[in-house]
Structure 1
Amino acid sequence: MEAIKHSHVQVRGLNLHLAEIGTGSEVVLFLHGFPEIWYTWRHQMVAVAKAGYRAIGFDFRGYGLSDQPAEPDKANFLDFLHDTIALLDLLAIPKVYLVGKDFGAIVGSMVAAAHQDRVAGFITLGIPFLLPGPDGIRNHLMPNGFYINRWQEPGRAEKSGFRVALRVPYR
């Protein structure tokens, strides 16, 4: 797909798959939804690069071509926030435009709230901005029967034909 470069970078002890295109000094970081990968953003990344930005998408820990943590049961939702900031640090990106969809919008909200100095702008798709915290996510976005909740039940997603690499509790 139009010169999108792929690599793996070591972030907080895990190899994360990175896809990027463009060379602009301003960076747009795309955060995928659940149960997706960076590929969701391929067309938008090309368009953003053609507009003069550096576009980056990555597979969150446990997704796509990124490593799953050795002990996924010990992981928590804040790991996604810390991974994102560590990725920005590793790539020497002081400030970024975030675009998050679905699950990625929750991670983006957490980054924007906890690291305002690192965020030039933030766009959410499918989920409104929420202050970080498990109660807000659980009460407003995940009613009983919501697909993310259903997939937290061991074996349920696999019976549906999906491979779930990581189950992270919202705590």
Structure 2
Amino acid sequence: MAQEIEHTHLPIRGLNLHVAQVGTGELGTVVFLHGFPEIWYSWRHQMRAVAAAGYRAIAPDCRGYGLSEQPPEHEEVSPDDLIADVLGILDALSVPKAFLVGKDFGAMPAYEFALQHPGRTLGVVCLGIPFNPAPMSFDAIMPEGFYILRWRVRSRPPLTAYIQLLLF
């Protein structure tokens, strides 16, 4: 029988971040970082599989996504915010070290977390985005009209509004 995924909100760096988790963690902890425009739910099958194997699986909704609070409208979210949020989640859940799994949008924070916090990282697996140590401008390499760039247009409702419409 599959274990139930538990949900909580953690106060992390001034925002309440939604975190889904399952498993005992006898063998360690695996943190899943979702892609764009996704939420923790993308990882539900993998979370149950690693929990059944003896790991604790944690999948947060990044700030502004899913059930996590959005930063104030005037505040831009940087990659450093996402990395600090992962560290804050590990601290709040008393996880000393974790494996990180990132997909798409979640890959870069996973790579950077491992580089900035090697003592808190057991390993990194990423899908869709290869590791690139050279800084890059996403705007410069993506073609005009690329789907991620369209989401940056200020006239659009926040991503959370779209997800809430889908869930309710």
Where on the TM-score scale, by shorter chain, does this alignment land: which range?
0.7 to 0.9
1:95 is matched with 97
Shift of 1:75: 3.1
Task: Could you list the structure 1 runs, at least 4 aligned residues long, displaced by more than 6 angstroms after superposition.
Answer: none
Unaligned runs of 5+ in 1: 167-171
2:6 is matched with 5
Q: Deviations over 1:93-120 (max 9, x none)?
A: 1110000000001111111121122110
The answer to whether residue 114 in structure 2 is matched with residue 144 in structure 1 is no
Q: 1:63 aligns with which of 45, 62, 65?
A: 65
1:164 is matched with 159
Shift of 1:83: 0.7
Name the aligned partner's letter for residue 56 of structure 1: I
1:30 is matched with 32
Name the aligned partner's letter for residue 90 of structure 1: A
Percentage of matched positions with identical amino acids: 51
Shift of 1:145: 3.1
1:169 is matched with none
**Structure 1 Cα separation of the partners of residues 88 and 134 of structure 2:** 18
1:119 is matched with 121
Given the superposition, is the C-alpha separation of residues 147 and 73 from structure 1 closer, same or farther in structure 2, using an over 3 Å criterion?
Answer: same
**Secondary structure at the counterpart of residue 159 of structure 2:** coil
Shift of 1:71: 3.8
**Structure 1 Cα separation of the partners of residues 97 and 12 of structure 2:** 18
**Secondary structure at the counterpart of residue 88 of structure 2:** helix
Does structure 2 conserve the Cα–Cα contact (< 8 Å) formed by 1:97 and 1:121?
A: yes
Does structure 1 conserve the Cα–Cα contact (< 8 Å) formed by 2:6 and 2:22?
A: yes
Q: Deviations over 1:47-74 (max 9, x none)?
A: 0000000001010000000001124534
**Structure 1 Cα separation of the partners of residues 86 and 124 of structure 2:** 14
Name the aligned partner's letter for residue 12 of structure 2: V
Name the aligned partner's letter for residue 8 of structure 1: H
The answer to whether residue 159 in structure 2 is matched with residue 154 in structure 1 is no
Shift of 1:2: 3.8
Kindly report the root-mean-square deviation, in angstroms, between the aligned alpha carbons of the 2 structures.
2.1
TM-score (norm 1): 0.84
TM-score (norm 2): 0.85
